[in-house]
Structure 1
Amino acid sequence: MLIVIASGCGPQSQGKIVEGKVNVVTTFYPIYEFAKAIGGEDANVINLLPAGVEPHDWTPRSQDIVNTSKAQLFFYNGAGLEGWVPQFLKGLNRNSKVKAYEVSSGVKLIESDEDEEHQHEGEGHNHQQHVDPHTWVSPKSAMIMAENMLNSYIAADPSRKDAYTSRYLVLKKKLEDLDQQFVNQLKDMPRKEIVVSHEAFGYLARDYGLTQHAIMGLSPDAEPRARDLLNLSRLVKEKGIHYIFFEELVSDRLAKTLASETGAEVLVLNPVEGLTEEQLKRGDDYFSLMRNNLTNLMLALQG
């Protein structure tokens, strides 16, 4: 059966298993990018999420089950991001040898402070959604995730340990440089508060001394309550906040509404969950998008 891949559609989920390489299936873009960087020519990395799709909303197809059953490694973020993973892993072929790794393991997770009343619906089983899953948005967490991937590659393919390690060290250095840029540029900014459309920047805020105020909660499609918008509007005016951030894969309607009410402007802050077609064509990646974020943060946080 031939699967035709349209040119220019980027890291899609129509990838094929390649014999003689470590086949790795990743759930969404940042994990795909890091897995490719560490795996190099020794790995065949298949990304499940197509370009421009929100990972909170996505569900796998039968071809994804077939590919993952034949792969050696399955990397998912965890921390409650991909709610479909437990069922998906149960659905794999019984003779599958794939090893699943939660790559955010070891990151100190942030418990969301969403309202208590939401937390007690359902006894405990939906507690997951009250952990902030957006670990990769901080370079400090991304370093832990990359190290987890290195260890997984070595466990799966010990004979190529040196090659994986040397590629990992290149990636680690890039992440350390990015981290240093965030530390240096943000530490002297007079403002420390950001207003964002969706609560995706908790790890970034924690690691670089910022406070995020979100219009919506952890899930980008939750509708805010009127009183939340009122409180936020008051905060923006009182603190003289000039910019409200929204993200590309999610509607900017609410951010624009809040901006027009308060006289603020809107700017993009990208949670790097995926690339748009445009960004793919431009050759953007995790690092270029994160540097754009830093530029926009500096604009918003100056006096």
Structure 2
Amino acid sequence: MRRLVPALALLLALSGCGGASAGADGKLSVVTAFYPLQFISERVGGDVVSVSNLTKAGAEPHDVELNARQVGEITDADLVVYLSGFQPAVDDAVKQNGSGHAFDAASAITMLSADSADSHSHEGEEHVEESTSGTDPHFWLDPTRLATVAEQVGKKLAEADPEHAADFTARAAALSTELKTLDGEFSTGLKTCERRELVTSHTAFHYLADRYDLTQIGITGIDPEAEPSPQRLAAVAEEAKEHGTTTIFFETLVSPKVAETLAREVGAQTAVLDPLEGLTDENADYFSVMRANLVALTKALGCDS
């Protein structure tokens, strides 16, 4: 399906197809591009902010298409929180209709302070996380980076609504503390493991692997729909056997067939490692999914509890 041309979408929105005007319910209107950005906006914004998500639950965010109503929401919002380069349709709509009140999370990803880094050592903090077929956008799988973005969202909300600035700042700080606690759980849980090689269906876990000293071996690149060549499958199978891999990870929202094929080849099992692009369980949230990921990793890698 072709993306709706932003200019046409805006025309339709102005002719009556758009959403309600920002602030109609007396709350600050925040439009977010996909789940992790929705999560931090809701936590930092609290009950004085109304947050919507452009990506429907269970949908693949990479391929999101926007309708006229959603473009109208971007136009009318007090704040739009998105990640440039991740969702082309959102990038186009923000550029055409929302650039004056948009916050690009990419601008905050490399802003980790020494305190956020804690006792971890990161080589090349300035470098861009690369795979064989593109740049990994999944910064939120490193809780310290998500904490940095949450703090910046708090500042943007404070600019939009100075009356509640202190509340936004306090909630951002509280969320940052929770995220750093989660980071400590991962650091402890993955400190001593039999294996440190992480075999995944596609390379969505660079930030997680970099943070916790793991080596990611991806069957395919960044595109979750890409099909690996026979040569790539054979090469990953050889690496998996060499490292004694017991688990091939696949992810939610994507078919597990490739992971299952490789698992049969190397005599391993499969398990879910969730890149947290969206929720498939309405009772879950960022923290519960990340902790489920930690359980899966410690089991697969043979880590001491």
What TM-score does the superposition give when structure 2 sets the normalisation length? 0.84
SS at 2:81 equivalent:
strand
SS at 2:41 equivalent:
helix
> Which of 73, 94, 104 does residue 106 from structure 2 map onto?
104
Letter in 2 for 1:100: A
1:251 aligns with 2:255: yes
Partner of 2:14: none
* Partners of 1:17 and 1:44 within 8 A in 2: no
Structure 2 CA distance for partners of 1:299 and 1:88, relative to 1, 3 Å: same
Letter in 2 for 1:213: I
Partner of 1:157: 161
Deviation of 1:111 after TM superposition, in Å, equals 3.5
Structure 2 CA distance for partners of 1:154 and 1:202, relative to 1, 3 Å: same
2: CA distance, partners of 1:167 / 1:141: 17
Deviation of 1:273 after TM superposition, in Å, equals 0.6
> Which of 42, 45, 52 does residue 39 from structure 1 map onto?
45
* Partners of 1:39 and 1:153 within 8 A in 2: yes
Partner of 1:85: 90
> Which deviates further from its counterpart, 152-161 or 204-213?
152-161
1: CA distance, partners of 2:257 / 2:107: 34
What are the residue-to-residue correspondences of 1:1-303 with 2, within 5 Å?
A: 17-19=22-24, 20-78=26-84, 80-92=85-97, 99-108=101-110, 110-114=128-132, 130-276=134-280, 279-280=281-282, 283-302=283-302
* Partners of 2:143 and 2:179 within 8 A in 1: yes
SS at 1:147 equivalent:
helix
2: CA distance, partners of 1:97 / 1:157: 18
* Partners of 2:155 and 2:168 within 8 A in 1: no
C-alpha RMSD of matched pairs (Å): 1.9
* Partners of 2:136 and 2:222 within 8 A in 1: yes
2: CA distance, partners of 1:186 / 1:255: 23
Letter in 2 for 1:180: G
Which deviations, in whole Å up to 9, do the C-alpha atoms of 1:45-71 show, x marking residues without a partner? 011110101111111111001111111
Partner of 1:121: none
Letter in 2 for 1:66: G
Deviation of 1:224 after TM superposition, in Å, equals 1.0
* Partners of 1:193 and 1:210 within 8 A in 2: yes
2: CA distance, partners of 1:178 / 1:15: 37
SS at 1:212 equivalent:
strand
* Partners of 1:72 and 1:98 within 8 A in 2: no
* Partners of 2:66 and 2:90 within 8 A in 1: no
Structure 2 CA distance for partners of 1:198 and 1:16, relative to 1, 3 Å: farther
Deviation of 1:190 after TM superposition, in Å, equals 2.4
Please list every run of 5 or more consecutive structure 2 residues that lacks an aligned counterpart in the other structure: 1-18, 111-126
Please list every run of 5 or more consecutive structure 1 residues that lacks an aligned counterpart in the other structure: 1-13, 116-129
SS at 1:36 equivalent:
helix
What TM-score does the superposition give when structure 1 sets the normalisation length? 0.84
SS at 2:146 equivalent:
helix
Letter in 1 for 2:48: D
* Partners of 2:21 and 2:76 within 8 A in 1: no
**Alignment coverage as a number of residue pairs:** 269
1: CA distance, partners of 2:257 / 2:181: 35
* Partners of 2:193 and 2:298 within 8 A in 1: yes
Identity of matched residues, %: 38
Deviation of 1:17 after TM superposition, in Å, equals 4.2
SS at 1:220 equivalent:
coil
2: CA distance, partners of 1:15 / 1:131: 36
> Which deviates further from its counterpart, 169-178 or 31-40?
169-178
* Partners of 1:81 and 1:134 within 8 A in 2: no
SS at 2:184 equivalent:
helix
* Partners of 1:71 and 1:98 within 8 A in 2: no
